[in-house]
């Protein structure tokens, strides 16, 4: 930000924080919408594919537009859009890593649900 837009490090706290805050909020919203879509359609594959793919496309478009902006505010807004769009699909990625049955999320080796995704991911290899 300092080299391109002339923003000093001391004045960039919120400019750096906004993309992370937007991404976190979008992850929660994406998870709720993904669950609603899966409940409505009954097809988990659609819920696990639509949100990550659409989020990556929007994030890529926002990142490609960043070099063409003129102000630091525009750059920050595009970084917020990119972060939010990418994280919009992260809940679906976590759901894809968890083996789910009609009884709920399986626990691997007695691990709690929070560790289940990491254990499941490890077990794929």
Q: Is the pLDDT of residue 5 over 70?
A: no
pLDDT band per the 50, 70, 90 thresholds, residue 114: very low
DSSP 107: P
Please check whether residue 28 lies inside any domain of the structure. yes
Residues 29-74 have pLDDT tens digits of 888 888 888 888 888 778 778 888 888 999 999 999 999 998 888 8
Name beta bridge partners: 105: 100
Residues 81-107 have pLDDT tens digits of 999 999 888 877 766 655 555 445 554
Please check whether residue 76 lies inside any domain of the structure. yes
Q: How many structural domains comprise the chain?
A: 1
Range of the domain at 11: 2-91
Q: Which residue has the tokens 């976590």?
A: 94
Rounded to 5 degrees, φ, ψ at 57 are -65, -45
- Name the nearest CA neighbour of 99 among 71, 119, 77, 73: 119
Please check whether residue 116 lies inside any domain of the structure. no
Does this model's pTM top 0.75? no
Please check whether residue 107 lies inside any domain of the structure. no
């Amino acid at each position: 930000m300092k080299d391109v837009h002339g923003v000093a490090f001391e004045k960039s706290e919120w400019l750096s924080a906004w993309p992370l805050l937007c991404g976190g909020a979008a992850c929660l919203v994406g998870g709720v919408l993904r669950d609603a879509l899966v409940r409505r359609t009954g097809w988990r594959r659609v819920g696990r594919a639509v949100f990550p793919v659409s989020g990556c496309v929007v994030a890529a478009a926002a990142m490609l537009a960043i070099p063409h902006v003129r102000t630091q505010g525009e750059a920050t807004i595009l970084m917020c859009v990119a972060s939010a769009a990418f994280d919009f699909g992260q809940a679906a990625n976590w759901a894809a890593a968890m083996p789910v049955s009609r009884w709920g999320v399986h626990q691997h080796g007695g691990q709690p649900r929070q560790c289940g995704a990491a254990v499941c991911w490890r077990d794929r290899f």
